[in-house]
Amino acid sequence: MTLLQVQNVSRHFGSLIAVKDVSLTVEPGELRAVIGPNGARKTTFFNLISGFFPPTSGRILLDGKDITGLPAHRRVGMGMARTLQITEIFPELSVRENERRARFLGIPVELHIWLSFVISCLFVSLAGTLYAMLSNFTDPRALRWDMSGNFVIIAVLGGMRSFWGPLIGAAIFVVLQDYVSSQTENWMSFIGLFFVLVVLFFPRGVLGIIRRKAASS
């Protein structure tokens, strides 16, 4: 059975005919290439196949099943996937927008979310246990709002888009807190000011600065 059939597909954007009466067949194990100059509407054609938007006319079949009107995520569930020219995540997009692209590529997003949640809980539990063992006691004050604020400062200082960023931020925060608190009683104001400056001028944190310099050298 033919794996993919594109039968006389066309796509109109108002009076503009972007794709006109294009057909394609792909057999199991077969490789096909679509070539053409810039502006030849190759991307539009792939958008029709992958379900970004439906064709104006024509049909698309996958394993003999008509998928012409199915959205992209339904096609992914049937075994279709698409790799874009830029395969890594897009740092300028929000978490929700990156999640949509991951779903489109066939990545099991829910599984990764649950794994991240479980791993995070594991590290939090380990940190709480080590803190209790170090102090020989624990109390509810560790759950105060300012403690959560410290974690945010640590993550932003080091860099939030990597595993090592928060570790670097934790080291900077502890050293800075110890030094400033030994110099003045208003140490929280100075750390808050430092945090604001980092957010404004170095939003990717210390690790982002290091990576930028390494890439430019």
* Domain residue spans of the chain: 4-85, 139-216
Give the CATH architecture of domain 4-85.
Answer: 3-Layer(aba) Sandwich (3.40)
| Residue 106 vs residue 180, higher pLDDT | 180
**H or E stretch at 19:** strand 16-26
pLDDT beyond 60 at 87: no
Mean pLDDT of the chain: 82
pLDDT recorded at residue 56 = 92
More confidently predicted of 140 and 174:
174
pLDDT of residue 89: 55
In this predicted structure, the answer to whether residue 88 has a pLDDT above a threshold of 70 is no
Classify the C-alpha dihedral 64-70-75-81 as positive or negative.
positive
Q: How do residues 10-68 score in pLDDT, each as one tens digit?
A: 999 888 899 999 999 999 888 888 888 888 888 899 989 988 888 999 999 999 899 99
Query: Averaged over 62-81, what is the pLDDT?
Result: 88
CA 82 to mean position of chain CA atoms: 16
Answer yes or no: are the C-beta atoms of 83 and 60 closer than 8 Å: no
Q: Which two three-digit tokens encode residue 14? A: 């108002």
Residue 6 pLDDT grade (very low, low, confident, very high; cuts 50, 70, 90):
very high
DSSP assignment of 97-166: HHHHHHHHTT--HHHHHHHHHHHHHHHHHHHHHHHHHHHT---GGGGSHHHHHHHHHHHHHH-TTSSHHH
> H or E stretch including 209?
helix 205-216
Query: pLDDT at position 196, please?
Result: 85
User: What percentage of the chain exceeds 90 in pLDDT?
Assistant: 17
Which long-range contacts link 178-181 to residues 24+ away (Cβ below 8 Å)? none
- Of residues 136 and 87, the one with the higher pLDDT is 136
Dihedral pair phi/psi, residue 6, rounded to 5°: -115, 115
The rounded distance, in Å, linking the Cα atoms of 182 and 103 is 50
Q: What does residue 138 show for φ and ψ, rounded to 5 degrees?
A: -145, 155
Single pTM value for the model: 0.43
188 or 114, which is more confident? 114
Counting Cα atoms < 13 Å in the Cβ hemisphere of 41 gives 16
Kindly tell me if the per-residue pLDDT of 144 is higher than 70.
Answer: no
